[in-house]
Amino acid sequence: MNLEIYKHIYLLGVGGIGMSALARYFNAHGKKVSGYDKRKTLLTEKLEKEGIAIHYKDDVDQIKKEVKEARLTELLVIYTPAIDKENSEFLFFKEKGIIPLKRSQILGMITCQSFTIAIAGTHGKTTTATLLTHILKNSQIDCTAFLGGVSKDLDSNFILAQTGNIVIVEADEYDRSFHYLYPDVAVITSIDEDHLDIYENKRALETAFQKFASQVKEKGFLLVQAGVKTEFEKPEDGAKMSYSATKKADYYASNIGIRNNKTKFDIRVLDILPGMVYGEKISNLLIDIPGKHNIENVLAASAVACFMGVSCENVNNAISTFKGIKRRFEIHLQSERMTFIDDYAHHPKEVRMTIKAVKRLYKGKKIMVVFQPHLFSRTQDFADEFAESLSLADELILLEIYPAREKPIDGVTSKMLSQKCTIKNEVCSKEELISTLQNKDIEVLLTLGAGDISTLVEPIKALYN
């Protein structure tokens, strides 16, 4: 499919982090881009300022006339899985004879003629992809990147190459989306049970990852986190390597510690990458994002960068200037009085890793967690695991479940989750949170979730400023 023929690009769910990156891609290529989303956010406001027309009501009458009257061969409609198939605009385009395509299908088309680096895994995709983009950019290796978060260095989730043909994408396992990708380089950061509304069990999830890995091109590079037990074939005439922050691997971290509230470590090499020699070391790396999972994200990004020919010195220099990603362990307030951190964690393992990282960084301080569960199905499938992870905090406030694309499930509520937790906790609505926090003596506040809990960041900051 030749994407160049389309004049109009219409996105259903344009405000999603992945969809907005596509909107920016087509906008940068001179297409007439517009779309629908159910709510206005800071991101959609930015898109509008960039010239992308957006409306916020499912209403065919609000679609621009030139889009509705466009020739079928000139209009491309893209949708996110979060869009209800009964959405009136979705149905309108289908009745016109236009088949809306998934975001993942479009990413597959964009990358098919490029040197593609695909970052897969149930956790760590965004941090790894953003770090890699930062390292390459700072090493004068131009690349296009579609990111699942907003890079603080670039203030965007999309970066367009001025020259060159390298594309970095996050390979999303949801709905088997990553099967549309045929990368030259692939990273698998983790495979933990998730998306059980799509996958029957973990084995089905592992099989999907194996298929993705099998699509790495001839002479390609497959990098797998050493704790992943799934077996993967080495790409034909290519390389397969491992990395770890907890044990020896082809590429591993050593001398891990804390210095001035930053994580410090060395990177050692047991196998040979282009630009490196066996036993070589990158010394004294310092990162602001804590936790061994983030050390592994740095390891993965560094290994791919070295494979792309970046020197050890440039890797170290780039990592030292990395500002991070919005909503990935983002510290909003830090004083003797209190610390406020916001994070996107929405899976039990992510929640556990993030709380543990906070406890290591702020030893002896009481940790208050505010958690907004994401999806009824995920809350139901992992209720016990969520309760165990959340109970690592000292105190807990649960917001109501953010439904996203789902309808409620009988008996699945935040109150149900609350009753499984073993620490002091309470449930409140988003609207009640600020007044609830006013009565708390808080040393470290950690807000977690992938829904709209981020809209509470500014009100929380105002409360403590």
**Domain endpoint, select from 270, 302, 320:** 320
Neighbours of 63 (CB within 10 A): 19
* Structure tokens belonging to residue 54: 């957006």
| pLDDT above 70: residue 413 | yes
In total, how many domains does the chain have? 3
pLDDT of residue 164: 84
For residues 413 and 421, what is the distance between their CA atoms, to the nearest angstrom?
13
Asked whether residue 184 falls in the same domain as residue 308, the answer is: yes
* Structure tokens belonging to residue 16: 């999603």
Asked whether residue 286 falls in the same domain as residue 155, the answer is: yes
For position 279, which CATH number holds?
3.40.1190.10
DSSP string, 52-65: -EEE-S--GGGS-H
Cα 70 to chain centroid distance, Å, stands at 34
For position 419, which CATH number holds?
3.90.190.20
DSSP letter at 1 equals -
For residues 122 and 207, what is the distance between their CA atoms, to the nearest angstrom?
14
Identity of residue 332? H
Residues with Cβ within 8 Å of residue 364, at least 6 apart in sequence: none
For residues 338 and 335, what is the distance between their CA atoms, to the nearest angstrom?
5
pLDDT of residue 100: 93
User: Is residue 109 assigned to a domain?
Assistant: no
Identity of residue 378? R
Asked whether residue 276 falls in the same domain as residue 360, the answer is: no
Asked whether residue 314 falls in the same domain as residue 338, the answer is: no
Neighbours of 320 (CB within 10 A): 13
Indicate the pLDDT class of residue 174, thresholds 50, 70 and 90: confident
Cα 217 to chain centroid distance, Å, stands at 24
User: Is residue 325 assigned to a domain?
Assistant: no
* Mean pLDDT within 437-443: 92
| pLDDT above 70: residue 444 | yes
User: Is residue 185 assigned to a domain?
Assistant: yes
Range of the domain at 262: 114-320
User: Is residue 224 assigned to a domain?
Assistant: yes
User: Is residue 108 assigned to a domain?
Assistant: no
pLDDT of residue 279: 62
pLDDT of residue 389: 97
For position 32, which CATH number holds?
3.40.50.720
78-133 pLDDT tens trace: 999 888 888 999 999 999 999 999 999 999 999 999 999 999 999 999 999 999 99
Query: Hunting for tokens 């692939």 — which residue is that?
Result: 186
* Mean pLDDT within 374-403: 95
Cα 367 to chain centroid distance, Å, stands at 24
Asked whether residue 297 falls in the same domain as residue 396, the answer is: no
User: Is residue 222 assigned to a domain?
Assistant: yes
- Bridge partners for 240 per DSSP: 222
Asked whether residue 98 falls in the same domain as residue 121, the answer is: no
**Domain endpoint, select from 35, 67, 102:** 102
453-464 pLDDT tens trace: 999 999 999 998
3-state SS assignment for residue 13: coil
Asked whether residue 217 falls in the same domain as residue 346, the answer is: no
Asked whether residue 238 falls in the same domain as residue 302, the answer is: yes
User: Is residue 371 assigned to a domain?
Assistant: yes
**Domain endpoint, select from 47, 74, 102:** 102
Asked whether residue 25 falls in the same domain as residue 56, the answer is: yes
270-315 pLDDT tens trace: 776 655 666 667 888 988 888 888 999 999 999 999 999 898 889 9
Asked whether residue 316 falls in the same domain as residue 364, the answer is: no
User: Is residue 270 assigned to a domain?
Assistant: yes
Asked whether residue 36 falls in the same domain as residue 69, the answer is: yes
Indicate the pLDDT class of residue 178, thresholds 50, 70 and 90: very high
DSSP string, 125-179: HHHHHHHHHHHHHHTT---EEEEEEEETTTTEEEE--SSS-EEEEEE--GGGGGG
In the predicted model, what is the mean pLDDT of the chain? 92
Asked whether residue 119 falls in the same domain as residue 245, the answer is: yes
